[in-house]
Structure 1
Amino acid sequence: MPESLHESHRIQALDPRLINQIAAGEIIERPASMLKELVENALDAGATSIDIEVDNAGVKRLKITDNGHGILRQDLAMALSRHATSKIHDLDDLEQIATLGFRGEALPSIASVTRMSIQSREQDADQAWLVSSDGNNITTDPQPIAHPVGTTIETRDLFYNTPARRKFLRTDTTEFKHLDQVVRRMALSRFDVAFKLSHNGRVVMHLPAVPADDPRRLKMVCGDNVPENSVYFDEQREDMRLSGWAGLPSFSRSQADMQYFFLNGRLIRDKTVVHAIRLGYQDVLFHGRHPVYVLYLEMDPARVDVNVHPTKHEVRFRESGQVHSFVFRTLQAVMSRSAGEVGSLQVDAETGAAAPKPLSANELAPQITQQNPLRYRESEPLTPQQVRDQITGYQTISQGVFRASPSQGMVEPAVISSTLNAITLNATTLNATTSVAEHASDAESEIPPLGYALAQLKGVYILAENTQGLILVDMHAAHERITYERLKSAVEAAAVRQQPLLVPVTIQVSDSEIQAWQEQRELFDQLGLEVEQLDTKVLVIRSVPDILVNADVSQLVRDVLSDLVADEHSSRITDTIHEILSSMACHGSVRANRLLSIAEMNALLRDMEATERSGQCNHGRPTWVQMSLSQLDGWFKRGQ
C-alpha cells in the first residue's frame, strides 16, 4: 500500500483555527446568529442597556455595546480561546445552568470567521483595554483605550475568509429581518433592559426599560393591539411559575409567527410545551388558526437540561409530565376565565380592527336601489299628530324592556332583579320561563356583561344592550358551546365507562410502541381503554370507552402509541371523545330561524356568562361581538 494512502488514514489533531471554523459552522449561520450569542453574553454580564449598530445587515459591520460588568485585562485574550468561560466552573454548574450562554465557543467561533475587536472596562478598573483578532487564531496584546464600564464587541466582514459560506447569505433585507427578530425576542425576554438597534446609521428600534409586567414593551415589539386582545396572568404551583400574555382565541393568526415561550429567560421551542399550549387552547380556536402568546416559565434550573443543542433552543425536562400538566391546566383555566369578558372578540382578528367599516350613505344608496324597486324621495314634514303616534309606537315596543329617564332624555335598559327561573337548555330543546320584576331605583341596577336582549335579527342573531353598547350573538353557536360544555361535564362527572368489545381487537406494534404502552399503562386505564400484551409485539384491545364503541379503536390506539413515542404525550382519545360530543352538541342546539322570546334570549345570555369558553363555539367560531357606543358614534360621525 502506498505511503501516501497510509498517511491519509492517520489520526491527527486538527488545527485550532480549523476547529474554531467547524464550531462556527454549528453556531454562526448568519449575522443574526452572531447577534444572538453576543446579546446573550451582554445579558449574562448584567447589562441594563444594549446598543446595537449594524451596516449591511451585519455582514459588513456588527457592533454591540453594553453597560455590563466588563472583562478584566488579563481575561481578554482568554475570552477568545475555545471552551474558556466565566459561567461554569465544575460539573455541578453544568447540571443547573442559570445563564444564557455557557459553552465558551461563541467568541472564538465568531473571531474565526470575522475581523473582531473587543473593548472592555471592568467595574472597578481605571482603564479600558482593547484586543483584536483577524480570523487567524492570533489575538493581539491588550492595548489601553478610553471606554466606559462595560464591553463593546465589533465584527467586520463576516465570512471574509470562508467565501463558500458567504454565498449562502441572503439579501440585506432578508438578513436584517432575521436580526430584527432576534432583537425583538431578546427584548421580550428582558423588559428591564433597554435595547437600541441602528441600521446603516439610522435608528430603527428604541425600547426603554420597563417593569416586567408592563404592556408597553409588548406593544412596541408585537403591536398595539396585542395587549388589549390578550389576558395577562401570573400563576405558581410548587416550584414552577407561569406568567405572561395569552392571546384571546378570537385574536388568532393564520401562521404561528407570534408565539414566544421563555424558560428562565431563554427562548425555547419545546415539543412538550407546544403540545401543552395546543391543549390549553383546545375547543376555542378556529380550524387552522394559531394562538398568540408571550409566556414565561420559571423553574429550578436543575430540573431542565439546556445543554442538548448548540443553539440551546431545545431543552429536556427531567419531569416533562409535570411541566406539561402545569402549562396545559394553567392556560385552560385562563381561557375559561376570559371567555365571558366583554370585548373579548374582534371581528377582524388578522388586522386587529374592532369592527368592519360601515358603508357611507352615498355607497349604500346604489346598493339599495339595485336590490329593490324603491327609490329615494324628498322627506315630507311630519304633522304633530304623526310625531305623537310614532312616540306612542316606540313606547309600546319598548314596554318591559326600556324605561324612560326624564332627567337625561334617553332610554335605559330595564332593571331586572329577580332571577330567571326554571331555565333548561339541553341537547334537544330550549325552554325558558322567567320571572321579571322591574325596580325604579338605580341603586339596585346591575347590568350583566352581555346585557339584556332587545330583539332577534333574521332568526339568527340576538341583539342585546350592555353598558358598553351593542352586543350581537350568534344564537346557534352560543347554544352549541353551552350544550357541549354540559355534555363534557356530564361525561367527566360520570367517569369514563368501559364497554367490552364482543370481539377483542389485536394489533401488531413495534418495540418502541410496546415500551411506550408499558410506560403509560395508567394513561390507557384512565381513558377507559383496556389493553393487554399478548406477545412481544402484539397488543389486544378488550374494552373501550362506551362513547367510542363505534370508532376505529385499532387505528385510535395506534395513533395514541405513535404520539407517545414521538412526544411522550397523547390527547387522541380525549380529542376523539370531544369530537363526538361536539357533533352531538351541534345537532342538538337551537337551530337558526328559530324564533325566541325576549325571556328565552335573556336566558341564553345568562347561560353564556356562566359557561366556560363561551366566547367561541366548539369549532372555534366566535359566538358574540361587542360594538361600543364610541364605535357607533364614529360610524355615524356623532360629535365630529
Structure 2
Amino acid sequence: MSIRLLPPQLINQIAAGEVVERPASVIKELLENSLDAGARQIEIDVEQGGKRLLRVRDDGTGIPRDELALALSRHATSKIASLEELEQVASLGFRGEALPSIASVSRLSLSSRALDADTGWTVEADGSERIEAPRPAAHPVGTSVEVRELFFNTPARRKFLRTDTTEYKHIEDVVRRLAMSRFSVGLTLRHNRKQVFRLPPAGTQEEAARRLARLCGAPFVDHSLYVSQQTGELRLSGWVGLPTFSRSQADLQYFFVNGRMVRDKLITHAVRQAYQDVLYHGRHPAYVLYFELDPALVDVNVHPAKSEVRFRDSRAIHGFIFQALHQALAGVRPGQGQPGEAAFAAPAREPAAPSPAPTARHQQAIPLQALEQVATYAALHPAAASVSGAAAMPETVADADAVETPPLGYALGQLHGIYILSQNARGLVLVDMHAAHERITYERLKTAHAETGIRSQPLLVPVTVSVSEREAALAESDPGVFRELGFEVDRLGPEQLVIRQVPTLLAGADAAALVRDVLSDLLEHGVSTRLREAMNDILSTLACHGSVRANRQLTLAEMNALLRDMEHTERSGQCNHGRPTWVQFSLAELDRLFLRGQ
C-alpha cells in the first residue's frame, strides 16, 4: 500500500482515541479548560452516565467570536506559543487537541461570551469536518460546552462503554479530583437533573477541610495531619492520614503537582518510605498532598492524558517529599497534634487519638533471654523512672487535680500483665506495654546508631555480583551511594561488581542481593533506601527482643515512666511493625457502653 495523507476527520478520530476514552475523559478535558480560563464557578450536568449529555458551564474569561471556530481546530491553543513555554507549562491543558477530538465523535455545541463582548456566540459540530459559522446566542460571560450522543458515529467504541452507573462513577471521580485541586473554585454536579453535590469556594484552611471531608469522608480529615513545608522552590502541603487510618487498598491517595493530579512511581515510593516505620504490613497510607515547584523543573508532556510527569532532578524531589512526611509522622505522639510550629501548620481539625484497630492484638511473650534478666522497666531506663512530680502517679486525687494531667495520664494498674490502664483528662487510656517499649527502644537504637556512625568490616572473601552493564556503569559512576552506607563496591568487569566491605550490622545478610536491589531502586526511582531499611530491620529485631515482655508485672512508678517516655518518643503511636501502641476511650464512649444518660 502506498503512503498517503490521512483525511482530517480520520486524524481527529485517531486523536480522540487518545484523549476521549469514555465520558469521564470529556469531563476532565472540559473542566481543565474551565480552570485554565480562570473560572470561579463551574456547573456540570450529566445524563445517562454521560452517554446522552455532558454539559460544562463556567464563568471564565470566555472566547471571542472570531476564535470560536478555531477552538475546534486541532493544535489551536491560547496556552503556549513557543518551545520555551512548552518547557515550563503552567496550565492544565496545552496541546489544543481536546475540543476537536471530542467534536469528531459527538454532537458538540460551544457557546461563549468574552469579557469585553456585548453578546455571546455559538458554534456547532456534528462529527464531520464541517463547522458552521458562529451565530449570536444569549450567554453570560464565560463558556458552555454541550456534548451529546458521545461516539454516535463510532458505534464500535460506544459498545465498549459500561453501564450508566459505572460511567457516572468515573465522572464523579474526575469531578472529585478536580474539586480537590482547586479549593477556590465552586463546583456543582447534577446527574439526570438531580443535584449530587454543590461545593462553595473554599478560601481558608478550615473551609478546605470541610470540602475535603465532603469529598473524602469526615474520618479522613479527623484522623489526618495538615502539613506545610517549603525548601527553596519546593513546597509540599496537604493532609496525611495518621498511620492508624491506613487502608486495605491504595484508594485514598491524591497527589497534585502544580495543581495537576498525577500518579508517579517516584512520588508513591517517597510517600511509602515515609510511612515505612509506622504502617502495618499490607496496609496503605491515605493522603491528599499538593506539591509546587518551578514548572521548568517538571515535564508534564510525557503522557497523552497528562497523568504522568517527569522531574528534572528526581533524587532531590524524592528526598524532599520523604523528609517532609517523615518529619510530620515522627511528631505524631501522645498529646502532640502538630510536630513543630516552625515547619508545620496546625491540623485542619484536632486529630482524634488513634482508634481501636482490628490488628491491635498483643504480642505473646517471645522465649528469648535478651535483657530478660532485667527485672523491671525502671532498671532499663532509670532516668525516666526517677522523674518526680508529673512522671509518677500522684498519691491522692487532690494531688492529681493540682498537677496538669499529661496526655497519657497516670497509670491505674495492669491488665493480665499485658496492658497498662491509665486515666487522663479525656477518660481511659489502654497501652500495650510491650509494643510501646519496643518503639521506645527502637528509636533509641536508631539514634545511637546514627550518632556513632556506620561501622564497616572488610570481607575475608570479596563477593562477586553479576549485574547488567547499565547497573555496573551506575555503580561505578556513583560509588558514594554505597560508601555512605558502609559498603565498598567496585566494578570488576563490564557486567560484574565486587563487594569488598559491608556494614558490621549487615555482616550476616545477603550482600549481593542487597546491592542488586539498591541498583534496581536507583534505576527506577533515582534513589534507594534498601540498605537503611535492612539495618533498621535488624535494630527493630533487637528492640523487640530487648523490650519488656507480656506478663511482666510493673510497679505504678514503672508504668508511669513508660507513659512519659511514650510522650517524648517519635512515632510512639505505633510499634515497629505498625500496630497501635495505645487507644483512647473517652468518658462519653464509656457512658454509651453502660447506657448512662439514656
TM-score scaled by structure 2?
A: 0.91
Q: Do residues 347 (structure 1) and 341 (structure 2) align?
A: no
Shift in Å at residue 612 of structure 1? 0.4
1:513-532 equivalence runs, <5 A? 513-532=471-490
**2:237–2:290 contact (8 Å) kept in structure 1:** yes
C-alpha contact 2:124 2:131 (8 A) present in aligned 1: yes
Aligned twin of 1:31: 23
Distance 1:468 1:177 in 2: 41
- Alignment of 1:20 with 2:12, yes or no, is yes
Provide the secondary structure at the position in 2 that maps to 1:481. helix
Q: Of the candidates 157, 163, 174, which is equivalent to residue 171 of structure 1?
A: 163
1:483 to partner: Cα distance = 0.7
1:211 aligns with 2:169: no
- Among 210, 217, 221, the alignment partner of 1:223 is 217
Residues 498 and 544, structure 1, Cα contact 8 Å, conserved in 2: yes
Secondary structure of residue in 2 paired with 1:338 = coil
Q: Note the C-alpha offset of 1:595.
A: 0.5
Contact 1:190 1:212 in 2 (8 A): no
What does residue 106 of structure 2 align with?
Answer: 114
Structure 1 counterpart of 2:407, one-letter code: P
Give the 5 Å matches for 1:108-507: 108-213=100-205, 214-341=208-335, 343-348=352-357, 425=380, 432-433=385-386, 435-436=388-389, 445-507=403-465
**How far did 1:282 drift?**
1.4
Residue 62 (structure 2) pairs with residue 74 (structure 1)? no
Secondary structure of 1:290's aligned partner: coil
Secondary structure at 1:78 match in 2:
helix
- Contact 1:189 1:267 (C-alpha < 8 Å) held by counterparts: yes
Matched, 1:619 2:552: no
Amino acid aligned to 2:518: V
Q: For the Cα contact (< 8 Å) 2:330–2:571, is it kept in 1?
A: yes
Matched residue pairs, number?
560
User: Aligned partners of 1:425 and 1:606: how far apart in 2?
Assistant: 14
Alpha-carbon distance in 2 for matches of 1:181, 1:539: 48
CA–CA separation in structure 1 for the residues paired with 2:388 and 2:184: 55
Equivalent pair of 1:459/1:594 in contact (CA under 8 Å): yes
* Unaligned runs of at least 5 residues, structure 2: 337-351, 361-376
Question: Conserved in 1, the CA contact under 8 Å of 2:235 and 2:293?
Answer: yes
**In structure 2, what residue type is equivalent to 1:150?**
G
Partner of 1:100: 92
CA deviation map 1:360-396 (0-9, x unaligned): xxxxxxxxxxxxxxxxxxxxxxxxxxxxxxxxxxxxx
Cα distance in structure 2, aligned partners of 1:268 and 1:519:
31
Do 2:476 and 2:490's aligned partners in 1 also have CA atoms closer than 8 Å? no
Alpha-carbon separation, structure 1, partners of 2:318 and 2:594: 50
Query: Using the alignment, how far apart are the partners of 1:575 and 1:618 within structure 2?
Result: 12
The offset of 1:271, in angstroms, is 1.3
1:85/1:103 contact within 8 Å kept = yes
**Greater mean deviation of Cα atoms: 191-200 or 251-260:** 191-200
| Cα distance between partner residues in 1 of 2:379 and 2:484 | 31
Q: Aligned with 1:326: secondary structure?
A: helix
Is the CA contact (8 Å cut-off) linking 1:424 and 1:430 kept in structure 2?
no
Distance 2:550 2:401 in 1: 38
Shift of the 581–36 alpha-carbon distance from structure 1 to 2, 3 Å rule, reads same
Deviation at 1:638, TM superposition (A): 2.4
Structure 1 residues 586 and 622: alpha-carbon distance in aligned structure 2, compared to 1, 3 A threshold: same
Deviates more, 1:276-285 or 1:561-570: 561-570
Question: Which structure is higher in RCO with an 8 Å CA cutoff and minimum separation 6?
Answer: 2
Residue-by-residue CA offset, 1:575-594 (whole Å, 9 max, x unaligned): 11111111111111100010
| 1:634 CA displacement | 2.1
**Structure 2 counterpart of 1:545, one-letter code:** P
Structure 1's unaligned 5+ residue stretches are 1-7, 356-421
Aligned to 1:607: 565
Q: Which amino acid aligns with 1:98?
A: A
The alignment-based identity, stated in percent, is 58
CA contact (8 A) 1:478 1:616 kept: yes
What's the CA shift for 1:320?
Answer: 1.2
Q: Is the 8 A contact 2:105 2:152 kept in 1?
A: yes
Shift of 1:432: 3.8
Amino acid at match of 2:186: A
CA distance in 2: counterparts of 1:425 and 1:168, whole angstroms: 66
State the alpha-carbon separation in 2 of the partners of residues 566 and 318 from structure 1: 14
Match among 534, 547, 559 for residue 576 of structure 1: 534
Q: CA deviation at 1:520?
A: 3.1
Question: Residue 446 of structure 1: SS of its match in structure 2?
Answer: coil
Matched-pair contact (CA < 8 Å) for 1:252–1:349: no
Q: Decide whether the 8 Å contact of 2:187 with 2:200 is kept in 1.
A: yes
Q: Tell me, what secondary structure is at the counterpart of 2:331?
A: helix
The answer on whether the counterparts of 1:57 and 1:176 sit within 8 Å (CA) in structure 2 is: yes
Q: What is the SS of the residue equivalent to 1:291?
A: coil
SS at match of 1:154: strand
After superposition, give the CA deviation of every residue in 1:465-503 in whole Å (9 maximum; x if it has no partner): 111111000000000101111111111111111111110
Return closer, same or farther for 1:308/1:434 CA change in 2, 3 Å cut-off.
closer
Deviations 1:263-312 (A, max 9, x none): 11000111111111011111100000001100001111111110111111
Distance change >3 Å, CA 135–CA 635, structure 1 → 2:
same
Letter in 2 for 1:304: V
- 1:407 is aligned to none
Q: Does structure 1 conserve the Cα–Cα contact (< 8 Å) formed by 2:107 and 2:127?
A: yes
CA distance in 2, matches of 1:19, 1:516: 42
Aligned to 1:394: none
- Secondary structure at the counterpart of residue 532 of structure 1: strand
State the 1:568 CA deviation.
1.8
Q: Deviations over 1:138-192 (max 9, x none)?
A: 1110010101111000111111111111121111111111111001000000111
CA contact 2:384–2:564 (8 Å) conserved in 1? no
TM-score normalised by the chain length of structure 1: 0.85
Checking the alignment, whether the CA contact within 8 Å between 2:357 and 2:580 is kept in structure 1 is no
Task: Please state whether the residue corresponding to 1:19 is helix, strand or coil.
Answer: helix
Cα distance change of structure 1 residues 160 and 425 upon mapping to structure 2, 3 Å threshold? farther
**Paired residues of 2:39 and 2:60 also in contact (CA < 8 A):** yes
Cα 1:541–1:68, aligned 2, differ >3 Å: closer, same or farther? same
- Give the superposition deviation at 1:507: 1.1
Partners of 2:507 and 2:11 lie apart in 1 by: 61
When Rg is computed on C-alpha atoms for both structures, the one with the higher figure is: 1
Deviates more, 1:491-500 or 1:600-609: 491-500
Deviation at 1:425? 3.5
Question: Hey, what's the Cα distance between the residues in 1 that align with 2:334 and 2:19?
Answer: 47
Q: Is the 8 A contact 1:340 1:612 kept in 2?
A: no
Give the partner amino acid of 1:221. L
1:441 Cα shift? 7.4
How far apart are the structure 1 equivalents of 2:40 and 2:7? 38
One-letter amino acid of the structure 1 residue matched with residue 16 of structure 2: A
Q: Which of 571, 577, 588 lines up with 2:546 in the alignment?
A: 588
3-state SS in 2 of match to 1:633: helix
